[in-house]
Amino acid sequence: MSCAHLLLVLSVAVSLGSAVEIQRPRGVPLSKRQFYEENKPFTCLDGSRTIPFDRVNDDYCDCKDGSDEPGTAACPNGSFHCTNAGFRPTFIPSSRVNDGICDCCDTTDEYNSGANCQNTCRELGRKEKESLQKLAEITKEGFLLKQQLIEEAKKGKQDKQAKLTELQNNKKGLEEKVEALRTVKETAEQPEKEAKERHLKAWEEQKAVIRAEKDRAKMAEAFLELDDDADGFVSVSELQSHPELDPDTDGTLTEAEAQNVLGGSAKVDSATFENVWSSIKDKYVSESQPEQPADQVHIPPPEEAKEPITDNDSEQYPEDDIGEDDDDDDVEDDEYHEDDDDKVTSSVRTPESSDGDEEAMPPYDGETQSLIDAAQKAREEFEESERSLREVEDQIRNLEKEISFDFGPDAEFSYLYSQCYDLSTSEYIYRLCPFNRVTQKPKYGGSETNLGSWGTWSGPEENRYIVMKYEHGTGCWQGPNRSTTVKLTCGKETTVTSTSEPSRCEYLMEFTTPAVCQEPPSLEDTPQHDEF
């Protein structure tokens, strides 16, 4: 029974409290008056037997269903009807009749016990009427708020639909822009790549010349060091003064081994020594730089020792790969691309020469650097357009998701979307984010616990929109995953009113919102209570 309906019943009951009561046996409700006629035998309501009417309420149980003793305590399974004029009628077990305790507010259950009962029906009716009036006012105001929510939801959905259409149109334009800038980028990167390859090739040729000159100088120095007698030849005996050239690494360079190193000759001149040098230069230790123990030999760090590999320029120039390999990547984190931008910016600068490395790649010439700058600009514009496209796609997905949500018959619950409501208890702060999740966090430190993510509406068939179910929360220790049932009640305010854990890992929340307020019945449509 609705608040307004019950309120009208009480109003009629109070106003007619002094009316003449229709005669019937004690404890019989008006709805069953026709079964109790004084001038006819009484048939038990279960049809089990018929008895003379004077055996009704004779304090002896004749009927199995106890219907012959509605006004006494004779039958253990009987029931006594409290008329309660001015308040709500009710039934009590027959065993409470004349037990010395006042159960009916109109005192009719204690007619023969001597109990000092006071008729409190009018006072109870007045208090309940006031309470129901407040509830009726809340329901009425809540329903008006609900109508506003429905209108706002209708307008909001139209606005979102218009925004979605706009974004979808923008997406088409951005897709075309991305493809156009992709072409511009690829067009700019081709001459950049060719210019870099030319620069690399020239650098490799220059390095080869430098290496050859260094090798010839080292060979000449070695020839002079080995030619102890300065006769213009390197002999077997002179070569034996360098045991590091021992081919079998036994620590001694024999005459035969030395002669074999010299190509079978006893001695060689500077022209022939060129052929010998190619086989000994990796082992030869200059006399001007005494040999160091193996554990003290300096090994250049990778930056100094590294030389570009001529057959794969993509490894020498990591900037070549930027903007080409990532064209099809669907990365939604903008920070990731911002990091890439930093790498691109730093990697395409003109190579810096190192003071300690004579073979460092020389700076790009002006024409090559211009091509690199143009390609980098094209890459940045392309990546910026890709970011814009991804942002629009994200907005479209979010809007489509929100529009497709079941927010009730008239979308009255849509205002709860993206909102959160807290309830603070002595130990925890509970947070309900409708259509998202429910969480619990200790008030005095500790991590947040997920009590369930949005599942579905799970109210009764006649109104499924009064219960929310949140499932698959954080698992309990050796137990199920946490879940929360949220019961919605009518109220002017939107707030979490209570929370409990009726079963292990299963939580219950009470949530008030005007979105569940129903239209109160009019006075004309409400039936009147005439139980007198």
- Distance, in Å, from the CA atom of 491 to the CA atom of 511, rounded to the nearest integer, reads 9
Q: For 44-53, 87-96, 241-250, which range has the lowest pLDDT when averaged over its residues?
A: 241-250
**CB burial string 354-377: b at 16+ within 10 A, e below:** eeeeebebeebeeebbebbebbbe
Work out the average pLDDT over 296-323.
40
Work out the average pLDDT over 250-273.
84
Alpha helices in 227-333, H assignment, sequence order: 236-239, 255-261, 270-280, 302-305, 313-316
Q: Which of 303-312, 351-360, 374-383 has the highest mean pLDDT?
A: 374-383
For the chain, the distance separating the N- and C-terminal CA atoms, rounded to the nearest angstrom, is: 20
How much is the pLDDT for 132?
A: 82
Alpha helices in 332-479, H assignment, sequence order: 334-347, 366-404
Q: Is the pLDDT of residue 429 over 60?
A: yes
Q: For 20-29, 205-214, 397-406, 449-458, which range has the lowest pLDDT when averaged over its residues?
A: 20-29
Work out the average pLDDT over 310-337.
40
Domains of the chain: 22-118 (no CATH), 158-281 (1.10.238.10), 414-513 (2.70.130.10)
Q: Is the pLDDT of residue 328 over 80?
A: no
How much is the pLDDT for 129?
A: 85
Q: Is the pLDDT of residue 446 over 60?
A: yes
Work out the average pLDDT over 310-334.
40
**532, 22 contact by CB (below 8 A):** yes
How much is the pLDDT for 375?
A: 95
**338, 384 contact by CB (below 8 A):** no
Work out the average pLDDT over 497-516.
95
pLDDT mean across residues, the chain: 82
Q: Per-residue confidence at 358, pLDDT binned at 50, 70, 90?
A: low
Q: Is the pLDDT of residue 242 over 80?
A: yes
How much is the pLDDT for 4?
A: 39
Q: Per-residue confidence at 59, pLDDT binned at 50, 70, 90?
A: very high
From residue 15, how far is each of 5, 107, 130, 355, 398 by CA, in Å?
16, 20, 15, 109, 58
- Distance, in Å, from the CA atom of 182 to the CA atom of 171, rounded to the nearest integer, reads 16
How much is the pLDDT for 347?
A: 42
User: What is the CB neighbour count within 10 angstroms for residue 244?
Assistant: 12
User: Who wins on pLDDT, 478 or 352?
Assistant: 478
User: What is the CB neighbour count within 10 angstroms for residue 124?
Assistant: 16
Q: Which of 241-245, 295-299, 522-526 has the highest mean pLDDT?
A: 241-245
Residue-wise pLDDT for 369-397, tens only, equals: 999 999 999 999 999 999 999 999 999 99
Q: Is the pLDDT of residue 326 over 70?
A: no
- Distance, in Å, from the CA atom of 173 to the CA atom of 83, rounded to the nearest integer, reads 77
Q: Say how far residue 134 (Cα) sits from the centre of its chain.
A: 41
**CB burial string 5-31: b at 16+ within 10 A, e below:** bbbbbbbbbbebbeeeeeebbbbbbee
**245, 202 contact by CB (below 8 A):** no
User: Who wins on pLDDT, 500 or 13?
Assistant: 500
Q: What phi-psi label fits residue 154: left (phi over 0), alpha (psi between -120 and 50 degrees) or beta? A: alpha
Q: Is the pLDDT of residue 9 over 50?
A: no
Q: Angle formed by the axes of helices 366-404 and 121-226, to 10°?
A: 160
Work out the average pLDDT over 336-359.
44
Q: Per-residue confidence at 236, pLDDT binned at 50, 70, 90?
A: confident
Q: Across the strands, what pairs with 268?
A: 234
At a CB cut-off of 8 Å and minimum separation 6, what does 257 contact? 246, 247, 248
How much is the pLDDT for 21?
A: 57
How much is the pLDDT for 359?
A: 63
Q: Per-residue confidence at 352, pLDDT binned at 50, 70, 90?
A: very low
Q: Per-residue confidence at 360, pLDDT binned at 50, 70, 90?
A: confident
User: What is the CB neighbour count within 10 angstroms for residue 292?
Assistant: 10
How much is the pLDDT for 271?
A: 86
Work out the average pLDDT over 200-205.
91
Q: Which of 19-28, 123-132, 246-255, 461-470 has the highest mean pLDDT?
A: 461-470
How much is the pLDDT for 276?
A: 86
Q: Per-residue confidence at 445, pLDDT binned at 50, 70, 90?
A: confident
Q: Per-residue confidence at 522, pLDDT binned at 50, 70, 90?
A: low
In the numeric block, which tokens belong to residue 445?
């430190």
Residue-wise pLDDT for 387-424, tens only, equals: 999 999 999 999 998 998 899 999 999 999 999 999 99
Q: Is the pLDDT of residue 104 over 80?
A: yes
